[in-house]
Amino acid sequence: MQVSAIGLGCMGISSGYGVPPPVEQGEKVVQAALDAGVTLFDTAALYGFGKNETLVGRVLKAHRHEITLCSKGGMAAVQFPDGLKRVINGRPEAIRLNCEDSLRRLQTDVIDLYYLHRWDKQVPIEESVGALGDLVREGKVRAIGLSEVSAATLRKAHAVHPIAAVQSEYSLWTRNAEIAVLQTCADIGATYVAFSPVGRGFLCGAPIDAATLPANDIRAGMPRFLGDKLAANLKLQAAYNTIAADAGCTPAQLALAWLLQKAPHIVPIPGTTSVAHLLEDVAAADIRLSAETLQRVEATVNQHTVVGSRYAAQASGEVDTETF
């Protein structure tokens, strides 16, 4: 698959960061991405409990053969007596059901790249990947990927069926990929799809006030955005913003350009609810950072200078803890 240098992560237009924008605004962002030349669109059954796939499918249906459509299963909404809840389920029957539901919402007969959204530790990775492989053989999926797994898990999965991509968080302030997964992707010929490449907004330059984050903003429970840890991290922003200004780009563009120059098999998928920010992000593909700028920015924002973990409970099943 040949895709644009920068894709669009669609989650934020339906969920994740407080009250989502009106559906019409989300549609404008997706359409603007198309118009700007973006060809990689990433969604999931979980996002907005299906609403995101429905929105994305509606806008992209007429352009289906022009784009690469990605979604995820193995973690989706399940109806309980007290409402819909997120459930991680990597059993083959659950993966198949998730995929069929996604196909219907996306209004397509095939998903170009279908990920296991999270590894269900109750199910061997080989069994879940085998189910994904069955979907490929049936023509419902063209290629498969994994999200938030370790290098060891990736190699086990790849032995069962070729893994086309791994999607995990990667940015200047989240460097877990550099431990082993980024290199393993290169070794097996998989693309590394970097979500949250602008640090969930932290690398966009504007200070973040934890007190103003709504309860349903996922950052409200992330240690890096809270209390003394946030205060320490905000001290990095002034220096970081200065580097961006010296490089003649915005802070968000600096973060994206850095990723694009780290390795040729990296594709960032920033998300936004703003058309203006979308166009700013896409323009980062044309920015070339000097060796001096790369050195300065890596020395300023890295795993040693950032304070706090990604999640409040890294062993809660949210991610594969082998990566830490």
The rounded mean pLDDT for the chain is 95
292 is written with which tokens?
């001096």
**CATH at 163:** 3.20.20.100
Question: pLDDT-based confidence at 319, cuts 50/70/90?
Answer: very low
Q: Is residue 12 part of a domain?
A: yes
pLDDT at 168 over 70: yes
pLDDT at 122 over 50: yes
Q: In which domain, by residue range, is 139 found?
A: 8-323
pLDDT at 202 over 50: yes
Q: What is the mean pLDDT of residues 293-303?
A: 97
Q: Is residue 137 part of a domain?
A: yes
Give the pLDDT score at 207.
Answer: 92
Q: Which candidate in 17, 47, 114, 170 is catalytic? A: 47
Q: Is residue 3 part of a domain?
A: no
Give the pLDDT score at 105.
Answer: 98
Q: Is residue 230 part of a domain?
A: yes
CA distance 68 to 87: 27
Q: Is residue 195 part of a domain?
A: yes
pLDDT at 237 over 70: yes
3 state DSSP class of 55: helix
Q: How many domains does the chain have?
A: 1
Give the pLDDT score at 215.
Answer: 84
pLDDT at 218 over 90: yes
The total of other beta-carbon atoms located within 10 Å of residue 125's CB is: 23
Contact 300, 240 (CB under 8 A): yes
Q: Is residue 1 part of a domain?
A: no
E-assigned strand segments in 33-110: 40-42, 68-73, 75-80, 83-88
Cα–Cα nearest to 164, from 145, 149, 183, 142:
145
Residue 192 known to be catalytic = no
pLDDT at 136 over 60: yes
Q: Is residue 277 part of a domain?
A: yes
Contact 157, 179 (CB under 8 A): no
pLDDT tens digits along 139-157: 999 999 999 999 999 999 9
What's the longest Cα–Cα distance across the chain? 57
First to last CA, the chain: 30
pLDDT tens digits along 276-296: 999 999 999 999 999 999 999
Question: pLDDT-based confidence at 323, cuts 50/70/90?
Answer: very low
Cα–Cα nearest to 265, from 149, 166, 174:
166
Q: Is residue 29 part of a domain?
A: yes
pLDDT at 3 over 50: yes
Note the pTM of the prediction, 2 decimals: 0.95
pLDDT tens digits along 20-66: 999 999 999 999 999 999 999 999 999 999 999 999 999 999 999 99
pLDDT at 314 over 90: no
Give the pLDDT score at 211.
Answer: 87
Give the pLDDT score at 210.
Answer: 85
pLDDT at 135 over 70: yes
Question: pLDDT-based confidence at 315, cuts 50/70/90?
Answer: very low
160 is written with which tokens?
């069962």
pLDDT tens digits along 187-196: 999 999 999 9
Q: What is the mean pLDDT of residues 286-310?
A: 97
Q: What percent of the chain has pLDDT over 70?
A: 96
Give the pLDDT score at 69.
Answer: 98
